[in-house]
Amino acid sequence: MLSITLSLLPAGIINGLMFGAIYALVALGLTLIYGVLHIINFAHGAMLMLALYSAYFLFKVLNIDPYVSILIVTPASYVFGYTIYRWGIGKLSGGRDQNILLITLGLSIILENSALFFFTGDQQTISLPYSYESFDLGFLYLSYPKLISFVASLIICVLLWMLMTLTDLGKAIRAVAKEREGARLVGIDVEHVFAVTFGIGVACLGAAGCMLLPIFYVDPYTGNIFVIIAFTIVVLGGMGSIVGALLGGFIIGVTESVGGLLLGESLGQIGISLIFILILIFKPTGIFGSKV
């Protein structure tokens, strides 16, 4: 039994990396919003669910491949996030962090129950013409959807990192994250930057939704399945760190996968909780504990 498990380890690690990249993408939005706004977006899971449904209906109604619909869902998610922050969360919160928490919590309840009402609780999955095509690595068949999702997630992470480090917008976001009043004094429209950051965070979810749909299912509560993992990744990687989110995603993905192989798929989940506790005890700021 042990020899079989050990022989499966390389495959387990690759599986973990594949899923880890998608976890990272979900965590990116969360960490970005935290890094700048210093709030946890409790509607993150519900927004991921909306992205999944958007990709699902684009596929079902217009027959648009989910990987192509990234080009539609991601900007649409950005607009949704920007709008909801600029004219919803930002206005209603009165600038108080605890109000933002409550508003995002309320928003998640509204979104999930609206989805339940309009889309029902039925779990929806899709089959693409290439769903069952795969690369044969000898010890593992790497399905095309998982491989595409992995590569696309990495590209988006790199693009986001470039946006944050190489552009004026990125500088403005980092300035607001570091010193809100100072940024305002040098002429940065802080409210606009907040809304842009929130929009980018939701756009990450838009992309993540399109990449998850071919390999998972969607129902009104699917988002929460991934957001619990995303919270762990954000804590592990360091709140506000893009590189931390990516690395954290890989670590959690591999931990989950290898833990499942060594301890069984049920008990193997314990590895994620263990990492979460150890990080909180020994390095509460996370691996890259700096802010954006």
Partner 1 sequence: MKKINELLSGSRRRFMGQASASFALASTGLAVPHIAQAASAVKIGLIHPATGWAAFPAAQLRYGAQMAIADINAAGGIKSMGGAPVEAILGDSQTKPEIGAAEVEKMNEAGVDAIQGCYQSAVGLAASAAAAKYNIPFSIDVGVSDKLVQRGLPNVFRMADGYGRIAADASVNLAEINKAAGSPAKTVAIVHEESEFGTGTAKMVTKALASHGLDVIETIKHANPTRNFDNIALRLKAAKPDIIMPINYPGEYVLLAKTLRQQRVDFMASYSVLGGGFNFKFVEEMPQIAENMIDVNHWYNPSSSSGQAMRKRTEADGKYFTFEVYCAYMSVMFLADGFERAGTTDKEAVNAALSSSTLEVDFMPYGPTKMLNGQNMGSRAVAIQAQKGDVQIIAPSSYASANAIFPRS
Enumerate binding residues for partner 1 (CB under 8 A).
4, 7-8, 11-12, 15, 19, 112-113, 116, 120-123, 125, 127, 131-132, 134, 140-141, 143, 216-217, 219-221, 225-226, 229, 256-257, 260-261, 264-266, 269
| Shortest distance in whole angstroms from residue 146 CB to partner 1 | 8
Burial of 122 (0-12, 13-18, 19+ CB in 10 A): exposed
What is the dihedral angle through the alpha carbons of 88, 70, 216, 62, rounded to the nearest 10 degrees?
Answer: 100
Q: Which is nearer to partner 1, 18 or 39 (CB)?
A: 18
First to last CA, the chain: 46
CB of 71 to partner 1, least distance (A): 26
Between 10 and 284, CB nearer to partner 1: 10
Of 24 and 37, which has the nearer Cβ to partner 1?
24
Work out the number of other CB atoms within 10 angstroms of the CB of residue 284: 11
Shortest Å, Cβ 165 to partner 1: 31
240: left (phi over 0), alpha (psi -120 to 50) or beta: left
Q: Rounded to whole angstroms, how far apart are CA atoms 143 and 147?
A: 6
* Residue owning tokens 């301890």: 263
Taking the complex as a whole, the smallest distance from the CB of residue 244 to partner 1 amounts, in Å, to 21
Other residues' Cβ atoms within 10 Å of the Cβ of residue 39: 19
C-alpha closest to that of 247 among 9, 78, 6, 31: 31
Residue 50 Cβ, how far from partner 1 at the closest point, in Å?
Answer: 16
87 vs 141, which CB is nearer to partner 1? Answer: 141
Tell me whether residue 8 or residue 243 sits nearer to partner 1 (CB atom).
8
State the minimum distance, in angstroms, from the CB of residue 265 to partner 1. Answer: 4
**Between the CA atoms of 118, 123, 129 and 135, what dihedral angle is there, to the nearest 10 degrees?**
140
Quick one: 164 or 252, whose CB is closer to partner 1? 252
CB of 125 to partner 1, least distance (A): 6
Q: Is the CB of 140 or the CB of 163 nearer to partner 1? A: 140
Tokens of 52: 């999944």
